[in-house]
Structure 1
Amino acid sequence: MGGMREDDWLAERFEENREHLRAVAYRMLGSQQEAEDAVQEAWIRLSRSEAGAIDNLGGWLTTVVGRICLDMLRVRRARPEQVVEEHSPVLADHEVPDPELEAVQADSVGMALLVVLETLTPAERLAFVLHDMFAVPFDEIAPIVGRSPAATRQLASRARRRVQGPPQIPEADANRQREIVEAFLAASRSGNFAALLEMLDPSVVLRSDETAAGRGAAPMVRGAAAVAETFSGRAKAARLAVVDGLTGAVWIHDGELKVVLSFTLTDGLITSIDLLADPDYLAQVELTAIENQ
């Protein structure tokens, strides 16, 4: 460090991350002052930590600010007398303190976005903001909210639907998705390998979450032939269901939901299948059974 004192070096590294941290906190809290308070608290925690043992300082600070904001949001929700205008992201021009916060303001939809964000639980808001707006992986968000990565993904998904509204899926596409998933399950049950191949994209990926993999499913299978082989002669107990707005499938045993199969289609071919068995995810996923199968 060329003679630079350690605390000076640490302060310099923190300043390099300050504007990013303020942007994260501002998105979370909708208040300049509260965002500043969160960032200052992050500095206090950093100064009291073993900074030399931190491999990724930027990631560590983002996580710490996320935890601080989560606590602040929980306190706010416990004070119903607070009104949403106190946390409006709409600032006068002279109040925008820096370019990064100005960009946050510019790409928001002002009060309309804040009103929706205020309806989310603190955990939903954190998962949505960190993942969708700042690209923090779910594996890193999960410990902050005390959930599994799969359940954290569901938090963000639920928040996204609240913010963006229900997905506008053309009826023809929704019908086509149902036809393909239904045909895929039928071919799987009958062991029709050729029919399975026809519905799979050549680079299709089958992924299993940690719980499904722990029950014997392969964590990841790539390629149409390998995925078709995996499903051929199987899925006999799977049933069609609407999973988060799109046709997928479920396996229910003794009245208990065990596995959700989520399908992604592109240009009429299945490009990915996810086997989701995480208990937290299953407790929160939005499902509608499809009858007459």
Structure 2
Amino acid sequence: MPDHERQAGQFEHLRPRMRALAYPLLGSFDEAEEAVREAWVRLGRINPEEVADLSAWLAVVTGRVCLGLLDARTGRPRLRLPDVVVEPERSGGESQAAPVGLTLFVALDGLAPAERVAFVLHDLVRLHVDQVATVLERTTADTRKLAEQARRRVRAAREADGDDRPAARRRLVDAFCAAVLDGDPAALAAVLEPEAELRADGWHPLRGAHEVAERTVALCQGGGPAFTPVLVDGSPGALVTRDGVPAAVLGFAVRAGRISRVHLLLAPERLAALDADALGP
């Protein structure tokens, strides 16, 4: 078999690993696939005999492509929420979601590109620090320092997120949905932190319990919305449907017994990919 054909077969075998590397770096399934395609293009430009370890080579190249995409975002507000895994909530069921949830993505979006790459590749993807240093084109010592800086910031964000008990989160989410259905901003504000934040596709963040409550109730009025309990990246959330058609996905962060952040996914192309029947009770 010619070297290029053999290499193409190996690439396809490694494609899921590269997507799993790129997705937490970028927070977008489409951008992750774009990074993998670019790695394939770059592979085609070199002699197969020059690549001693294809898996390691692709990890470095995919990481560098992602770093370039992250650098290109710098200085621009990112109004699109990260892609998420939405699953049915079954009694006693296990989440199959990826280990990167909305709360972690928010923390990652606050990191510099090099910090994000160092943390994700070392702590989540489990690449050796020397390999991460190759991606970043920095010394091993500098890479360790970047990863530790990122780790501290991510840890602080996770600790601030608070109660991880699914049952406690579900009760809050249910109360949130009930208040929205009742059209009761005051009841909704009661389950929110005073400085609660609403993030939605295409919007700048909205802050303040009363502002978030008023906007959410206004968005959900009319058309008889229905709320279905689902898991959003493994945590209790809700699918909003109108006449059986997905209209929004709600993800939540919880702190000290109240909802601190609401993620409202509205992008039509994301919602079109959801099967409301499969996500139903």
Q: Tell me the TM-score normalized by structure 2.
A: 0.51
CA distance in 2, matches of 1:158, 1:125: 10
Following TM superposition, by how much is the alpha carbon of 1:92 offset from its aligned partner in structure 2, in angstroms?
Answer: 3.2
2:98 to 90, 99, 106: 106
The unaligned stretches of length 5 or more in structure 1 are 95-101, 169-293
User: Which whole-Å deviations, capped at 9, do the CAs of 1:115-160 have from their partners, x for residues lacking one?
Assistant: 0000000000101111111221222222332321111101001111
The reply to whether residue 146 of structure 1 matches residue 137 of structure 2 is yes
1:45 to 39, 42, 45: 42
User: Which whole-Å deviations, capped at 9, do the CAs of 1:178-216 have from their partners, x for residues lacking one?
Assistant: xxxxxxxxxxxxxxxxxxxxxxxxxxxxxxxxxxxxxxx
2:76 to 71, 75, 79: 79
* Letter aligned with residue 16 of structure 1: H
Aligned match of 2:66:
69
CA distance in 1, matches of 2:20, 2:13: 13
* Letter aligned with residue 79 of structure 2: V
Which range is displaced more, 49-58 or 9-18?
49-58
Percent identical pairs in the alignment equals 42
Determine which structure has more spread, i.e. the larger CA radius of gyration. Answer: 1
Aligned match of 2:153:
162
**Aligned residue runs from structure 1 range 1-293, under 5 A:** 4-80=1-77, 82-85=78-81, 88-93=82-87, 105-108=97-100, 110-165=101-156
CA distance in 2, matches of 1:142, 1:47: 24
CA distance in 1, matches of 2:157, 2:11: 39
Following TM superposition, by how much is the alpha carbon of 1:32 offset from its aligned partner in structure 2, in angstroms?
Answer: 0.5
* Contact 2:103/2:158 (8 A) holds in 1: no
CA distance in 2, matches of 1:119, 1:43: 30
Secondary structure, aligned partner of 1:106: coil
User: Which whole-Å deviations, capped at 9, do the CAs of 1:221-276 have from their partners, x for residues lacking one?
Assistant: xxxxxxxxxxxxxxxxxxxxxxxxxxxxxxxxxxxxxxxxxxxxxxxxxxxxxxxx
* Contact 1:161/1:167 (8 A) holds in 2: no
Aligned match of 1:274:
none
Q: 1:115 to 1:13 in 2, by over 3 A?
A: same
What is the count of residue pairs matched by the alignment?
A: 153
CA distance in 2, matches of 1:69, 1:29: 7
| Aligned-CA RMSD value | 2.3
* Contact 2:122/2:147 (8 A) holds in 1: yes
Displaced runs of 4 or more, over 4 A: none
CA distance in 1, matches of 2:120, 2:132: 10
Following TM superposition, by how much is the alpha carbon of 1:70 offset from its aligned partner in structure 2, in angstroms?
Answer: 0.1
CA distance in 2, matches of 1:117, 1:60: 25
* Contact 1:21/1:39 (8 A) holds in 2: yes
Following TM superposition, by how much is the alpha carbon of 1:9 offset from its aligned partner in structure 2, in angstroms?
Answer: 1.1
User: Which whole-Å deviations, capped at 9, do the CAs of 1:33-65 have from their partners, x for residues lacking one?
Assistant: 000000000001011112212111101100000
Q: 1:45 to 1:12 in 2, by over 3 A?
A: same
User: Which whole-Å deviations, capped at 9, do the CAs of 1:48-107 have from their partners, x for residues lacking one?
Assistant: 112212111101100000000000001012432x3151xx1413349xxxxxxx95x332
* Letter aligned with residue 9 of structure 2: E
CA distance in 1, matches of 2:23, 2:10: 20
* Contact 1:116/1:163 (8 A) holds in 2: yes
Q: Tell me the TM-score normalized by structure 1.
A: 0.49
* Contact 1:84/1:118 (8 A) holds in 2: no
* Contact 2:25/2:66 (8 A) holds in 1: yes
CA distance in 2, matches of 1:7, 1:106: 32
